[in-house]
Amino acid sequence: MHIDPVLILADDIRQLEKQIHIECQHKKEPYNREQMQTINLLIGKLRARYAELVKTEPTSVLGAGELIRFAAHRLPFSQGRYATHLYRIADRLADGQRLPADLIWLRALTEALNDNSQADGRNNTTVLLALAIKGMAQPVVVYRAATTLRTPTRDLGDLSRGPCGAQPFVPQHF
């Protein structure tokens, strides 16, 4: 089974954010041209990874959970109450739980955020949530062991009782 591409991008994004943080902490001078170029290069890579993330559809529930985490992180402070719910949903998805109520709530939130968006129609938070919904709604395939199925032997006595095990119909003579 292949690794979800969203998980790979999320790991890359987190590593780049750590590198940027480390580079910013190691400032020796108020302005060092080489260090600033390094930081700008890392920021460019980070932007490219975020652009890929917005276009990448998750192939698993874990990938959908990561997209929900990124969307929750991007919500403004005034919508923090929604972020709490999003983090809880992402935690449940990471634990392998897919609840229909979570999917319904995510769809309603995405629609409400999209309606209230004052941007030019492309809000990256709603795009991330829409991609997460697609990944979360995918059916799960469970592979069974490769054993032959044993068919039960048919017994005419059992079949004569009917589908529910009832007694056979015997007409009564008056």
Give the domain ranges of the chain: 5-136
Q: Contact at 8 Å (CB) between 14 and 47? A: no
pLDDT in tens, 102-124: 999 999 998 888 887 655 455 88
- Quick one: DSSP state of residue 1? -
As to burial, measured by CB atoms within 10 angstroms (0-12 exposed, 13-18 middle, 19+ buried), residue 136 is buried
Residue pointed to by tokens 């890359």: 12
Prediction pTM value: 0.73
pLDDT in tens, 19-59: 999 888 876 677 778 888 988 999 999 999 999 999 999 98
Q: Contact at 8 Å (CB) between 132 and 106? A: yes
* Orientation of helix 5-25 relative to helix 61-74, angle to 10°: 40
Q: Contact at 8 Å (CB) between 93 and 62? A: yes
Averaged pLDDT of the chain: 83
* b/e sequence 36-65, b meaning 16+ C-beta within 10 Å: eeebeebeebbeebbeebeebbbbbbbbbb
**What is the C-alpha to C-alpha distance for residues 12 and 121, in angstroms, rounded to an integer?**
28
**What is the C-alpha to C-alpha distance for residues 141 and 133, in angstroms, rounded to an integer?**
18
